[in-house]
């Protein structure tokens, strides 16, 4: 597991050490794009862009899918993990809020019981 | 969807969070009390203050004003000192004791969600459902779950890490 994470981190660093590849990720954060689109946007040959996308794909930062004759690039599973991690942090916030709310609710129930007995 | 149970106390009920659609987040939780009691804890400021800001949040609630009626406003001010505060405010759209609360979140301008909380009582217990509806997918993405946002955050973290590594390597 540790080894796997280290390899993946190495790949990420390698992938992100290049300004064009960082640009590609920012671009794909806005919308999916074909390799041809990306090559044009970054003033590159198709072969050059294919190499960059390959490196990003290796690092799990981008996935590609062939649609007809066009290869479409989108953000990869690493980004999905980020979303899951965010949801889990959000869940933990609510969970700790609700743990406190449980205490308030228990106290209200206890008071109501005492008041109820007084009235009887 | 990952909805793991918290194991802090065995009798604690489960909190779930789910992204229901591109514009919606839903939080659910059951409470061992009738709806009127849970509703009271959401609508009386002196009670609300006791649970809305758990210690783990690392935030300090300076003030909490709540005018809980349709059209009434609320304002929460956070911060350890007066010069550095965070404010959250909006308007109650609907207040129906003990089953339904709706409010707007206006601190973020037009991108804030509308929050609907329903309290559904069954056999003395209350199922609470908190639903946040954002005006657009982009608004919800910007709130923190978005891929683009996560990318920027990842870059920022990597930048920090690279600086650290660079410093230690030289």
Contacts of A99 in chain B (CB under 8 A): 6, 8-9, 12, 54
- In the numeric block, which tokens belong to residue A78? 């690493």
Beta bridge partners of B132: B25, B115
- Select from B10, B30, B54, B158 the residue whose CB has the most chain A CBs within 10 Å, as the one to mutate to test that interface: B54
Average pLDDT over residues A115-119: 72
Contact criterion met (CB < 8 Å) for B31 and A105: yes
Least confident of A54-63, B77-86, B127-136, B144-153: B144-153
Determine the average pLDDT of the residues in A108-117. Answer: 88
What's the pLDDT band for A105 if we cut at 50, 70, 90? very high
A window 35-64, beta carbon within 8 A of B: none
pLDDT at residue A112 tops 80: yes
Taking CB atoms and an 8 Å cut-off, how many pairs form between chains A and B? 114
Joined tokens for residue B24: 């919606």
Work out the mean pLDDT of chain A and round it to a whole number.
85
Whose CA is closest to A37, among A61, A14, A79, A67?
A67
Kindly indicate the confidence band of residue B135, based on its pLDDT and cuts at 50, 70 and 90.
very high
CA angle B29, B35, B38 (to 5 degrees): 65
Tell me whether strands B61-66 and B24-31 are parallel, antiparallel or unpaired.
unpaired
Question: What pLDDT sits at residue B76?
Answer: 94
Task: Judge whether residue B72 has pLDDT over 60.
Answer: yes
**pLDDT band per the 50, 70, 90 thresholds, residue B6:** very low
* Residues B63 and B76 sit within 8 Å (Cβ to Cβ): yes
Name the more confident of A59 and B28.
B28
A13, pLDDT greater than 50: yes
Whether the model clears a pTM of 0.80, i.e. scores above it, the answer is no
**A83/B150 CB distance under 8 A:** yes
CB contact under 8 A, A101 and B8: no
Spell out the domain ranges in chain B.
16-135, 138-170
A10-24, A104-118, B62-76, range with the lowest pLDDT: A10-24
CA pair distance B26, B42, nearest whole angstrom:
17
Taking only the tens place, the pLDDT of each residue in A15-64 is 888 889 988 988 887 789 999 999 999 999 999 999 999 999 988 889 99
- Radius of gyration, CA atoms only, chain B: 19
pLDDT at B9: 45
| Residue-level pLDDT at B170 | 42
Bigger pLDDT: B71 vs A118: B71
Query: Which has more pLDDT, B41 or B7?
Result: B41
H helices of chain A, in order, are 2-16, 19-30, 35-41, 46-58, 77-119
Mean confidence (pLDDT) of chain B = 83
Which of A80, A92, A104 should one mutate to test binding to chain B, selecting the residue with the greatest count of B CBs within 10 A?
Answer: A104
CA-CA-CA-CA dihedral for B95, B30, A108, B102, to nearest 10: -10
Domain B16-135 sits in CATH at 3.30.530.20
Q: What is the mean pLDDT of residues B40-58?
A: 89
Q: Please check whether residue A9 touches B, CB under 8 A.
A: no
For A2-75, which CATH class?
A: mainly alpha
> pLDDT band at residue A3, thresholds of 50, 70 and 90?
low
Interface test with A, best of B4, B9, B22, B37 (most A CBs within 10 A): B37
Percent of chain A with pLDDT over 90: 48
Q: Which residues of B touch A115 (CB under 8 A)?
A: none
Indicate yes or no: CB of A95 within 8 angstroms of CB of B6. Answer: yes
CB contact under 8 A, B50 and A104: yes
- Report whether pLDDT(B11) > 70: no
**Closest residue to A93, CB basis, from B41, B57, B153:** B57
**Residue in A95, A104, A105 nearest the CB of B15:** A95
Residue B107 above 70 pLDDT?
A: yes
């Amino acid at each position: 597991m540790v080894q796997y994470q280290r390899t993946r981190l190495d790949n990420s660093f390698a992938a992100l050490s290049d300004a064009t590849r960082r640009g590609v990720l920012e671009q794909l954060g806005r919308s999916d794009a074909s390799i041809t689109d990306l090559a044009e946007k970054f003033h590159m040959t198709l072969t050059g862009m294919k190499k960059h996308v390959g490196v990003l794909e290796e690092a799990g930062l981008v996935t590609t899918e062939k649609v007809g004759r066009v290869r479409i690039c989108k953000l990869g599973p690493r980004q999905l993990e980020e979303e899951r991690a965010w949801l889990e942090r959000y869940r933990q916030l609510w969970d700790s809020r609700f743990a406190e709310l449980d205490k308030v609710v228990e106290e209200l129930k206890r008071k109501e019981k005492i008041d109820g007995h007084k009235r009887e | 969807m990952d909805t793991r149970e918290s194991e802090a106390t065995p009798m604690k009920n489960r909190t779930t969070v789910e992204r229901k659609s591109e514009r919606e987040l839903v939080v659910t939780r059951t409470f061992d009390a009738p709806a009127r009691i849970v509703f009271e804890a959401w609508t009386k400021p002196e009670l609300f203050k006791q649970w809305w800001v758990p210690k783990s949040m690392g935030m300090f609630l300076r003030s909490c004003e709540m005018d809980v009626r349709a059209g009434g406003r609320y304002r929460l001010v956070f911060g350890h000192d007066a010069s550095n505060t965070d404010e959250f405010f909006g308007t109650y759209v609907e207040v129906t004791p003990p089953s339904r609360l709706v409010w707007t979140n206006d601190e973020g301008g037009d991108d804030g969600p509308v929050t609907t909380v329903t309290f559904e009582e069954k056999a003395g217990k209350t199922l609470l459902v908190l639903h946040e509806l954002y005006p657009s997918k982009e608004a919800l993405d910007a709130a923190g779950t978005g891929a683009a946002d996560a990318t920027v955050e990842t870059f920022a973290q990597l930048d920090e890490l690279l600086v650290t590594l660079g410093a230690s390597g030289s």
